Amino acid sequence: MTITEVLKDYVTETIKKIVDNSNEADVIIAISTKSVIVQIKVDRTDCGKVIGKKGRIVDAIRTIVLAIKSSKFPEDTRKVLIEVLEDEKDDFKYNNK
């Protein structure tokens, strides 16, 4: 499995367990030369649940995703960025490579 598949599977399953509208949850992984960008798109009413109080939930997801990346792909030195898309246009996303 590639890094994109591993991270997308984990984040998707985690997000679907947190939110009320799991059918609306979508995860997009974009890879650049210096970072792995994980975009989480959920229903507007579920954004607070994904972010958590003072950003604790999204920080925990970031920590676990970084641990997964570091353990399964130790040669990969890219940073992990997590974005919760809440106020973006519906068609906004990075170009997947």
| pLDDT tens digits in sequence order for the chain, 97 residues long | 889 999 999 999 999 999 998 898 999 999 999 999 999 999 888 999 999 999 999 999 999 999 999 999 999 899 999 999 875 555 656 565 5
d(CA 14, CA 90): 22
What CATH number did the domain enclosing 32 receive?
A: 3.30.300.20
Whether 97 is in a domain gets the answer no
User: What does pTM read for this prediction?
Assistant: 0.81
Domain that holds residue 21: 3-85
Whether 69 is in a domain gets the answer yes
Whether 96 is in a domain gets the answer no
Partners of residue 4 on adjacent β-strands:
none
Whether 42 is in a domain gets the answer yes
Whether 66 is in a domain gets the answer yes
Residues 6+ apart with CB under 8 A from 43: 19, 20, 21, 24, 25
d(CA 97, CA 63): 24
Provide the number of structural domains found in the chain.
Answer: 1
Chain centre to alpha carbon of residue 40: 5
